[in-house]
Structure 1
Amino acid sequence: MYGTLPEPSSGEYRADRNASRTLRDKTERIRLLATPAAVHALRVPTPFAVGDVNCYLIDGHPLTLIDTGTKTEESAAILRAGLDGLGYRLGDIEQLILTHGHIDHIGLAAEIARSREAFGKPRPNVLVHAEDMVRVAQYETFTKQRMKSYADIMHSSGVSPKDAPGVTERMMTHYFLSMGESVSDVRPLVEGDVLESGIGQLRVLWVPGHSQGSICLVNEENRLIFSGDHILGDISSNPSLDFDVTTEIPMLTYLRSLDKLLPFDGSTILPGHRKPIFNLKHRVDELKEEYARKLSLAEDTLGPKPKTVYEISRVIYGNYDMDSMILALAECTDLLRILEQKGHARLETVEGVVYAYSVDD
């Protein structure tokens, strides 16, 4: 359910999740000029098509980890081994910052907190934006609610059982509950908060869209930005997943949040997946153009005959797999809502299913 969407009509995307890659391939050192401290990128595998998640360890005091990976044996083993190769243990982490509340970024937070307790040390400071706190503090409750929302959007989009064989609310709930657990003492972050780290101050930049509580961490001393999933180098950030927690159109919220990064053009962006980004403004422009193309394609797909969101999503995204279905339906729904807002589409709901039409001339 946490896949990636292909470019419009380009077929499905499948990430390489080859478990035989060596630990050396999973750990990179990011050399900084302004300080002897270092940032280490630990690439932790996930079970999702997006592939590895980048977890960043910042040497110094407080020893800081940004994001965690999912709660799976493979993810935990790789994270532990990566830390061990740098001379650390899970229990050494003093500060854990979560860029947002999605499971591939928060799943091991509880285990990290317990590991520090096991050594007789105070629990680490676990931090996430206030808008995503419930995802971490009440993971089980939130997950059950979210899976109901996933089942609801499948129904409203016109997905039949034969379109998604075996994909039920119960199955999705069981799957996601296994990948994380609650951290009751997580602390809230808000826009402008400043956190200390071994490379200097990290300033919180709130960038809602990919999730309501997505943040970037700005380190001005070294011109670094830890961007989480707000901006990625070669895939889109799926801006529509929070369709059930806001009355706004998440895609529009996301596009506005992209503009908040523009004053930092020239910084190195360390994203939650894939490689660093070195030309920020160019990537922001690419993403805006990509969503404009998708909007145009969605409008071209409409006609006088009613189509479901699911049918339109297959035209826009092609043969995406089950891992990407919720992403495709949520993003397609946003595109249609934007077209309706502009007066370029008409949406009607019949027996709980949304149908889209072109607007009569």
Structure 2
Amino acid sequence: MIHKIEIPTPFAVGDVNAFVVKGDALSLVDAGPKTPEAYEALKRGLKEVGYTINDIEQVVLTHHHPDHAGWMDAFDNAEVIGHPYNDLWLKRDESFMEYHDRFYLQCLKEEGVPEHYFNWVEKMKRPIRLMGDRTLDRIIGEGDEWDGHTGWIVMETLGHAQSHIALFNEKTGEMIGGDLVLEKVSSNPLIEPPADREAARPKSLLQYNASLTRLLDL
């Protein structure tokens, strides 16, 4: 069983989808932003298929962005699972946030942005308040099997986020793809700081094109 829950967001892109997946485990893929409206939508969507928040055993994040990683906090009985890059943003420790600010300020300078726009670095952190306060219980990555869901594997699909994964069932042809492909708008390849602070900036557009090519090949 795969059941879609449409969740409102305060962002211009509009609603985001979460998915209840029933196999040997009862899982929720993505959890909407941490707003009262999103919480009610999750409860309502679960009730439609006969479940409550306490029934969910796994919350799987397709990526760390606030509209996907908010209400994992509500699922006390669930294990939170995702790509290791999620935890940089979920932990949000002082060292990472300082690194975050230095990284984006350097990007603005390299791109020739006038100095009076440098306050954008602070503004871009505002949506973080809509993210959950839990961290990952377990990490997954390329080629891993999705525990509790026979036939499903994890695909690393970077570009939109450095934490982005898709879940794919080759036998049925079903995929839960997060923001890899969207119905009505393009999915933005976003500049994000590398997990390795000594590494070069990830080339998000090239990553995203590679992820789309991989999807086309399937």
TM class by shorter chain equals 0.7 to 0.9
The AA in structure 1 aligned to 2:168 is V
Task: Tell me if structure 2 keeps the 8 A contact 1:132–1:213.
Answer: yes
Is 1:195 the counterpart of 2:146? The answer is yes
List structure 1 runs of 4+ shifted beyond 3 angstroms: 139-164, 167-173
State which of 43, 58, 67 in structure 2 corresponds to 1:80: 43
Q: Does 2:49 correspond to 1:95? A: no
Q: Which residue of 1 aligns with 2:74?
A: 111
Counterpart residue identity of residue 191, structure 1: E
As a proportion of its length, which structure holds more helix?
A: 1
Q: 2 CA distance for matches of 1:144 and 1:40? A: 40
Counterpart residue type for residue 165 of structure 2: I
- Distance between the aligned counterparts of 2:174 and 2:97, measured in 1? 32
Deviation at residue 257 of structure 1 after TM alignment: 2.2
Distance 1:147 1:69, change over 3 A: farther
Match of 2:156 in 1: 206
* Contact 1:140–1:181 (CA under 8 A) maintained in structure 2: no
Distance in 1 between residues matched to 2:217 and 2:145, nearest whole Å: 18
Distance, in Å, in 2 between the alignment partners of 1:65 and 1:133 is 18
Q: Distance in 1 between matches of 2:123 and 2:101?
A: 9
* CA distance, structure 1, for counterparts of residue 38 and residue 100 of structure 2: 23
Larger radius of gyration: 1
- In the alignment, residue 88 of structure 1 is paired with which amino acid? Y
Equivalent AA in structure 1 for residue 67 of structure 2: D
Q: Residue by residue, what CA displacement relative to the aligned partner does 1:131-184 show, whole Å, maximum 9, x if unpaired?
A: 333223x145555643554455445444457769xx5544443x2332123323
TM, length-normalised to structure 1 = 0.53
TM-score by length of 2: 0.83
How many percent identity over aligned positions?
32
Aligned residues: 212
Of 78, 87, 96, 1:133 maps to 87
Query: In 1, are the aligned partners of 2:86 and 2:163 still within 8 Å (CA)?
Result: yes
Distance 1:45 1:149 in 2: 31
**Alignment correspondent of 1:226:** 176
Contact 2:63/2:165 (<8 A) preserved: yes
**What's the CA shift for 1:78?**
1.2
> 1:224: Cα distance to partner?
0.3
Unaligned runs of 5+ in 2: none
Q: Which residue of 2 aligns with 1:241?
A: 191
